[in-house]
Amino acid sequence: MASTSSSEPASVSNVEENRTRICDEFAAIAGTDSAVAQCYLADNEWEMEKALNSFFEADMERVFEVENSPEKESIPKTEQKKVEEKPPGDCIDLTEGSPASACKPSDEDDDKLSLITWNVDGIDTKNLAERARGLCSFIALYTPDVVFLQELIPPYVQYLKKRAVSYLIIEGGEEQYFTGMMLKKSRVRFLESEIFAYPTTQMMRNLLVAQVEFRGQKLCLMTSHLESCKAHAKERMKQLQVAMDRMREAHGDVTVLFGGDTNLRDTEVAKVGLPSSVFDVWERLGRQEHCRYTWDTKANSNLAAPYVSRCRFDRVYVRPATTDGVPRLFPDHMALVGLEKLDCGRFTSDHWGIYCSFTAS
């Protein structure tokens, strides 16, 4: 009898203790108090990820006074592909280029293609709203034609859809974290996109591919976030091989651009080998030291890492068109972006972004 009565309160106590712990974790991540944490968790069946997504979507709208967007248009999809064709109403475009920006000439006079690829570290929810706004500021400064993004989460995407209305947004997933593309509507004509899952990934990684036209040229755009961590080198090299095979096999009248957080080490690339038609943009432009390291815990304090790690994880590869008479795009400039701290005292991401421009020849 005594044993039964003592076990029942223990069970209730365990549930309360567990929920208190979850509330404390939520409050620490979201920067709020336990009462707000309990409200969001209770509304989301005590599932941390769902509750955080709900909180940050509401928080972004509250901070920047964003109105709720209308329902998405129904368009054909391949696998999980999502494309935002129509901008929500009553939006202020934070990515509209500034006339004072000397980084890039006007759309009407410029035949160059520009690209930014960036792991925006959406899974780090600290200062997420300000960091998302920081991304939009850099897009406004550089006015890239194409943006490749990695480590997006649903609230981040919803914010971009409301504050980057001059761009078409393609999502490489729907849950947890995923990749995405942004295409400047006035410059890049979207044709179709697909998602190719890596069959043996343990981290939900895939290859997002879009077929587009730019100034009459056919482009195949590809982005991915290859398997992370040193221990997963074998899987990462398999994924690189998939991407390189698709670049090599693309039609001869198409220029292929691949960019993303590859997590690659040079020894791994050497083992896989690049197709003879594919080149690394950083290497082609002379291996400039100032834009070598895109992951640099010595200079980037977002992680507050107790160690120094400097790696060239983020890379851009190109396979120019091979058909005679078709214009070929070649890189003429590369720089790192996101090197300045935001008002919150943190950087836009724990990765630096890469900005590249290309000229047809």
For residue 261, indicate whether it is catalytic.
yes
Q: pLDDT at position 281, please?
A: 98
Catalytic residue, candidates 121, 145, 261, 314: 261
Residue 21: per-residue pLDDT? 86
**Model pLDDT for residues 14-32, shown as the tens digit of each residue:** 777 888 888 888 877 666 7
Q: Mind listing the domains of the chain with CATH numbers?
A: 2-64 (1.10.8), 82-360 (3.60.10.10)
Percentage of residues of the chain with pLDDT beyond 70: 82
Residue 68: pLDDT band with limits 50, 70, 90: very low
Query: For 283-290, what is the mean pLDDT?
Result: 98
Q: Which tokens is 259 given? A: 């960019």
The pLDDT > 90 percentage for the chain reads: 66
pLDDT of residue 49: 72
Residue 204 confidence (pLDDT) = 95
Most confidently modeled range among 12-21, 106-115, 199-208:
199-208
Judged by average pLDDT, the poorest of 27-41, 83-97, 124-138, 189-203 is 83-97
Task: Please provide the average confidence, as pLDDT, over all residues in the chain.
Answer: 86
Q: What is the pTM of this model?
A: 0.78
| Across 328-338, average pLDDT | 96
Task: Give the pLDDT score at 20.
Answer: 86
* Residue 215: band (very low, low, confident or very high) from pLDDT cuts 50, 70, 90: very high
Residue 53 has pLDDT above 90, yes or no: no
pLDDT, position 94: 72
What are 291-315's pLDDT values in tens digits? 999 999 999 999 999 999 999 999 9
What is the rounded average pLDDT of the residues 334-344? Answer: 97
Of the listed ranges 22-26, 28-32, 75-79, 353-357, the one predicted with least confidence? 75-79
pLDDT at 11: 62
